[in-house]
Chain A
Amino acid sequence: MKYFWIQLVLVLGAGTAALIFIRRWDRTNTRAWKRIAFVLFVLANIYAVLRPNDVTWVANRFGVGRGTDLVLYLMVLALAFLALNTYLRFRSLEKKLTDMARTVAITEGARLNQERFDEKVSG
């Protein structure tokens, strides 16, 4: 029970971050934060490799058993964000592609159908 609150905060924090992320994933600010988070993540990894005992100490403070477990949890989070980010990016690309294809289809279709039905009338 002694770590219950810190665990609750961590889980809720991750959930909130994900929600905020979905809503404004493509704004300039969010893009900057994504990059900052990435750099911090890399730096933290280098530190963890050099001083594993420190990671265990941090992990204990947060109520996680071992340092490697903490790294694992963070990796799961990072991976989840990566997947979400990629999904949203593809959705946005798909939307642009759709708008473009629709414009082409309607312009072309209008021309084609006019030709088809004019021919029928005159022929």
Chain B
Amino acid sequence: MSQYDDVWLVIPAYNEGQVIADVVENARKTFPNIVVVDDGSTDGSAEHIMTTGAHLVRHPVNLGQGAALQTGLSYALQQPGAQYFATFDADGQHQTHDVEKMVAVLRDGTADVVLGSRFIEQSEQVPMIKRVVLRTAAAVSPTARKLKLTDSHNGLRVINREAASQLRITMNGMAHASEIVGLLAKSSLRVVEVPVDILYTDYSRAKGQSLINGVNILFDISLRERGRR
């Protein structure tokens, strides 16, 4: 038994075979419950995940990170005893002690959603161009402003059961981060930000999304069919 039996880590993975097993085993030292969503990887990620103690859910075809997150959340919601849900990156840039900190905030009952932010402290670690773009994104986004967020595109989030049941990610690609912030702003859920430490390793730098992808995100978000879901 662990004090984190009611926490589920949701890790979307696409072609992360190189590192996924290490990341999962490392996280499992603290969090016994992990579901990895293999998003149709072609590099044998699934075999690596099978060697770990994490649950494996496989998309038959590649659908995108947003879709993988939603699948993982839906799966974790079905698991008995699951109360808290963390979205965690497969490339090893997130740290379990941050998740512990965020779970503690939820356990206090003062928030339903805890988002990680790179900009409350230690923002020097973020590469310069990325810092400018991300800060601009948070500053111009009306929904991020409403929630007073400093970092609207951080992959590290911990949410409680109520928030997880309300979340419906429809943006399959990378636009899901903006979508989640938008959904939170519209809901009555209590959202807080907590400073987190992101490890920018060479691997995560190479795997991270390029900034030009921001154009795709803007396009997808602005063409959502409003009010039709």
Are A105 and B223 in contact (CB-based, < 8 A)?
Answer: no
* Chain A neighbourhood of B75, CB < 8 A: 105-106, 109-110
Are B55 and A113 in contact (CB-based, < 8 A)?
Answer: yes
Contact residues of B with A, CB < 8 Å?
35, 37, 50, 55-61, 63, 67, 70-71, 74-75, 78, 170, 172, 223, 225-228
Q: Which of B70, B71, B170 has the most CB of A within 10 A?
A: B71
Are A23 and B228 in contact (CB-based, < 8 A)?
Answer: yes
Are B71 and A95 in contact (CB-based, < 8 A)?
Answer: no
A108 to B74, CA, bound (A): 13
A102 to B66, CA, bound (A): 12
Interface 1/0s, chain A 35-60, versus B by CB < 8 A? Answer: 00000000000000000000000000
Are B71 and A106 in contact (CB-based, < 8 A)?
Answer: yes
For A, the interface residue count at a CB cutoff of 8 angstroms equals 21
Q: Would you call A22 an interface residue if the criterion is a C-beta within 8 Å of the partner chain's C-beta atoms?
A: yes
Interface of A, secondary structure class, is helix
Are A108 and B223 in contact (CB-based, < 8 A)?
Answer: no
A101 to B60, CA, bound (A): 6
Are A109 and B225 in contact (CB-based, < 8 A)?
Answer: no
Are B228 and A102 in contact (CB-based, < 8 A)?
Answer: no
Are A98 and B56 in contact (CB-based, < 8 A)?
Answer: no
From A87, A88, A94, A106, give the contact of B57 (CB < 8 A).
Answer: A106
A104 to B56, CA, bound (A): 13
* Chain A neighbourhood of B37, CB < 8 A: 105
* Chain B neighbourhood of A108, CB < 8 A: 57-58
Closest to B229 in A: A95
Are B57 and A105 in contact (CB-based, < 8 A)?
Answer: yes
From A91, A98, A106, give the contact of B78 (CB < 8 A).
Answer: A106
What are 6 sample pairs from A and B whose C-beta atoms fall under 8 A apart? A23-B227, A94-B172, A97-B63, A106-B78, A109-B57, A116-B56
Are A88 and B55 in contact (CB-based, < 8 A)?
Answer: no
Are A101 and B74 in contact (CB-based, < 8 A)?
Answer: no
* Chain A neighbourhood of B58, CB < 8 A: 105, 108-109
Given A94-B172, A98-B63, A101-B63: A23 in contact with B226 (beta carbons within 8 A): yes
Are B74 and A109 in contact (CB-based, < 8 A)?
Answer: no
A109 to B67, CA, bound (A): 15
Expressed in whole angstroms, the minimum distance between the Cβ of A62 and any Cβ of chain B is: 29
Are B71 and A105 in contact (CB-based, < 8 A)?
Answer: yes
Closest to A120 in B: B53
The A41-100 residues at the B interface (CB cut-off 8 A) are: 87-88, 91, 94-95, 97-98
Q: Which 5 A-B pairs have the closest CB atoms?
A: A109-B57, A113-B55, A102-B71, A105-B57, A98-B67
